[in-house]
Amino acid sequence: ADLRGGNSGAAACTVSMSGYDLDTLRSLETRLEAQCGVPKEYELETNLALLKLYQFHPDQSDTAAIARVLVKALMALPDPDYLMCTYLIPEHVQEDPRIANIATVASLLETCSFRKVWKALEP
């Protein structure tokens, strides 16, 4: 089932028309929050645009939002969304324990190590 929302192209358009300003960043963060409130709502283009804006505004980067983007991308497996997202995340952010834990879960999911996934998700 394709979980991508119908508005995903709008994010790319928003970024290209308004540039990489902070208002666009806030708008994309709001759209990410909306996706997280609806289980089947997923806008890959919106989330990629958000990660790109974090590259231009590293001081505004929100690790919790990045984690949410990665979890939403994981839910799209076997599509390559998760991998595309990781290419836009700086190494120092990938070393954050929250992001590193998501990477561990992603690796386990991709190798079908489902029992290990549940252990990795335990608090």
Q: What is the per-residue pLDDT for 64?
A: 97
Please tell me whether the overall predicted TM-score, pTM, comes out greater than 0.85 for this model.
Answer: no
Per-residue b or e along 50-67, where b marks 16 or more CB atoms closer than 10 Å to that residue's CB? bbebbeeeeeebeeebbb
pLDDT in tens, 15-59: 554 566 788 899 999 999 999 988 788 999 999 999 999 999 999
Report pLDDT for 93.
Answer: 96
Domains delineated in the chain:
8-121 (1.25.40.250)
88 pLDDT band (50/70/90 cuts)? Answer: very high
pLDDT of res. 38:
85
Is 60 exceeded by the pLDDT of residue 11?
A: no
